[in-house]
Each structure stands twice: as structure tokens, then as C-alpha cells.
Amino acid sequence: MPRPLILGVLPPAGSAVILLILAAGAPHRAPAEQAMGGVELPIRPVYCLLAQSNFSKEPLSGPQLFILKSGIVGKLGTERCRMASESQAEVEKSIESDGQEEALYVEMKLQGPKPKVTLWAEGKNHQGKIAEFPCEGTPGERCLEYAMKDFPADISDHDLHCHGGKQCRVDDRLFIVP
């Protein structure tokens, strides 16, 4: 009959070697599975900023995009935001095939009774409004600047609620993506 292995009677170096040998025989799983126990990990999309889109007739200028991009980078990190150089159609095609990209569009309605700046998102399985910045009492350019400074926090909230391991949902009545 084999005798049980008692690690306490071996010198410390011998115990370490035996533990390494025993550990080498253990089944291996991906680090994510080990840490999360098979739970689905959050999607971390790359946000593509489009200067011109079908959502807005006026393109954003370089300084406006820079304010928005630097805010997103500050909240989410450099690798999570890029300026899209492709056409809107090419970005939409990339989103549909990849699933790790999400386009951000800014719609400006600076004239009229209720001026506002709206931020829209389009991902593989969802499309909708992320945030709306009212411009009452603020001149158009100034309002746009305030919105660009405010939107990164809304994108961060959207990223947490929509991509933080949960499925994105759209409120159909309001067409808002949390």
C-alpha cells in the first residue's frame, strides 16, 4: 500500500519542487475563465470619431474633435479611441464585421427654438442617442465646446453600462442607449 506524501517532512526546496510538479499536472484554462469562472467578459470597443456623418450637415472642426478625443482618451485610454479616416459607409461595414468598434456621431442643431448638440453611437447590435446637451442661452460655438467637454463622461457611462459585461439595450421610446 502506498504511503501518503507528507510535505512537512521534506526540506523546503523539495516541497516547492513537488508542488510545482503537482501543479503542472492540473488542467489549464484561459486566465479569463480562471478569474471569472466562465462569466462573459466585458466588450471594450474602440470608439471611432467621425467628423462628418449623415447625422449632421456640418462637419466638426479639428479643435472640436481634439477636445472630444482627448476627453475620451482621458476617461477610457488611448487604445480605445481613434479618428476615423474612412467614409461613414466603410466604418459601418467595419462595425458590422468586427463588433469591437463603435462609431460616435455628433449632431448639431444650433439654430431654432431648442438648440442642442446630440451624441449618437452605432455599434454592431445597437444604435441610439448617448447624450444630449441643451444650448439655451449659450451661443452656438460656445455650446458646442461645452458639449465636447461634457460628452466624454457620457461615453464613459455608456461604456460601463452598455459594454461592462451586459448586453447593450435601447429604449425604443426615446431611442437612447444607456
User: What is the domain-level CATH number for residue 81?
Assistant: 3.40.50
Give the confidence band of 55 by pLDDT, cuts at 50, 70, 90.
Answer: low
For residue 101, what pLDDT is reported? 87
Residue 175 maps to a domain: no
| Same structural domain, 18 and 52 | no
Greater confidence (169 vs 106) lies with 106
> Between 157 and 39, whose confidence is greater?
157
Q: Does residue 54 surpass a pLDDT of 70? A: no
pLDDT for res 14: 42
| Cα distances (Å, whole numbers) of residue 14 to 2, 22, 25, 26 | 19, 12, 17, 19
Are both 52 and 78 inside the same structural domain? yes
pLDDT computed for residue 62 by the predictor: 77
Residues 66 and 149 both lie in one domain: yes
* Region of poorest pLDDT, from 36-45, 70-79, 98-107, 141-150: 36-45
Q: What is the pLDDT of residues 89-137, one digit of tens each?
A: 888 888 888 778 888 988 888 888 889 999 988 888 788 899 999 998 8
pLDDT at residue number 65: 86
Domain carrying residue 64: 46-163
Antiparallel, parallel or unpaired: β 127-134 and 46-49: unpaired
